[in-house]
Structure 1
Amino acid sequence: MTGVLEERFWAKVVKGPRPDDCWIWTGAVADDGYGRFSYTEAGRHKSLRPNRLAYALVHGRELAGIDDPLAGLGEVMHHCDVPICVHAAVAPDESHLHEGTNRENMIDRAQKGRATNGSALRWRGLPRADFAARSRALRDEVRAHGWGRPGRIAALMGGADPDAPTLF
C-alpha cells in the first residue's frame, strides 16, 4: 500500500481525546454496520475492513497483493465492540483491537453474549439495518463535530438515542 493510500486511510480516522478512547472510522459504512475502505490496485477494485487495515498498518504487517492484501493476518477482534472503532495502538493494553484465531473470536463472541445475535450488548440483537444505522449515526456525529460533544458520542456508543428526552 502506498503512502498516499495510507494518508487517505488515516484521514478518515478521528481519534478520541483520551488514550483509551475509540478511534472512529468516518469513511464508508457497509450495510452490516462495519466500515469499508476501498481502493484500486493494478486496475482492480479492492475493499477492506478498516479495523483490519489499521491493525496491519500500526503493527507493520506486510500487505500482500490484490487477491489477499492482508494474507496471514488472523481475525482482528474488538475489545470495545464498537464496529467502526479502528484503535490499533502498538501497546496491547491500549489497543482496542487484537489479533486472534477464528476459534478465539467465536469464544469471545459467546463470552460477550453475542452468539446467535444475542442482545446482551449495546450493538447486538438489532436488525441489520438498525445495526448499520447506529454505526452511521456515530460516524456522522464524529464527522460533524469530532469528539466535541462527548455526551452524544457516549449515548451513541451505548446504543441510546442522544435526542431522547431525559427524565430529569
Structure 2
Amino acid sequence: MIRPEQERFWSHVVKGPESNDCWFWTGAISDDGYGRFWIQRNGGQQAVRPQRYAHELATGEPLPPSMLLLHSCDIPICVHASAYLESSHVAPGTHRENMLDRAQRGRYRDRQTLRLGELPRQVRVQRSLDLRTVILDHGWQPELISAALLGVEITHPRLF
C-alpha cells in the first residue's frame, strides 16, 4: 500500500516537546548534511529538501527555485516551518542574505581564516547522520541530541 505523500513526509519528522523546539528530519540525508525527500511531480520522481517541503505545507506556497531557506537554528536537518516567521526555524532568503547570515554567525572559511563556527562538509554530514541515529534510536533525549550536535560520543564521560 502506498502512503500519501504528506503522511510519508511526517513519518520522518520527530518534533520536540516544546513549541520552539526543532523538528528533526529522520529520513534520507544527502552528502551535504541536509535531508532529502522524494516526491512525485510531473510524472516522475524528484528529490526535494524536507525543509522546503515543510515550508510549502506551512505556507501553502512553493518557493521559487532561486529562493533559499535560512535556518535560524543552524541545524541542517531541522524542518520546523511555520507560516509565522517568529516561530519558524526556516525563513526564505536570497543567496546574498544566506551569505550575510553565514558571515554574521561566523560559519565561513576564507583565504586567511577558518572561522570557529564553520564545520568542514564531512563533519557536518557526520553530525547530521549521528543526530538522526540518536533520534531514531532514543527518541527526543535532549542530552543525547546535544552530544550529537557537538560531535561528542554518547558514551563520553561527563563532568556534570
Give the TM-score normalised by structure 1. Answer: 0.82
Instruction: Give the conservation status (yes or no) of the 8 Å contact 1:25–1:86.
Output: yes
Q: Distance in 2 between matches of 1:80 and 1:87?
A: 10
Identify which range, 10-19 or 155-164, moves more after superposition: 155-164
Identify which range, 111-120 or 82-91, moves more after superposition: 111-120
Letter of the aligned partner of 1:152 in structure 2? L
Match of 1:156 among 148, 151, 154: 148
Structure 1 unpaired stretches of 5+: 63-69
Q: Map Cα deviations across residues 54-92 of structure 1 (whole Å, 9 max, x no partner).
A: 111111114xxxxxxx43672100000001000102222
Q: Map Cα deviations across residues 18-47 of structure 1 (whole Å, 9 max, x no partner).
A: 111100000000111110111333442210
Alignment length, in residue pairs? Answer: 155
Structure 2 residue 92 is the aligned partner of structure 1 residue 99: yes
Letter of the aligned partner of 1:132 in structure 2? V
Instruction: Give the conservation status (yes or no) of the 8 Å contact 1:112–1:120.
Output: no
Alignment of structure 1 residues 1-168 onto 2, 5 Å: 4-62=4-62, 70-71=63-64, 74-116=67-109, 118-121=114-117, 124-126=118-120, 128-147=121-140, 149-167=141-159
Paired-residue identity, %: 45
Q: How has the CA–CA distance of structure 1 residues 73 and 89 changed in structure 2, closer, same or farther, with 3 Å as cutoff?
A: farther
Give 3-state SS (helix, strand or coil) of 1:98's partner.
strand
By how many angstroms is 1:101 displaced? 1.3
Give the TM-score normalised by structure 2. Answer: 0.86
Structure 2 unpaired stretches of 5+: none
Identify which range, 22-31 or 94-103, moves more after superposition: 94-103
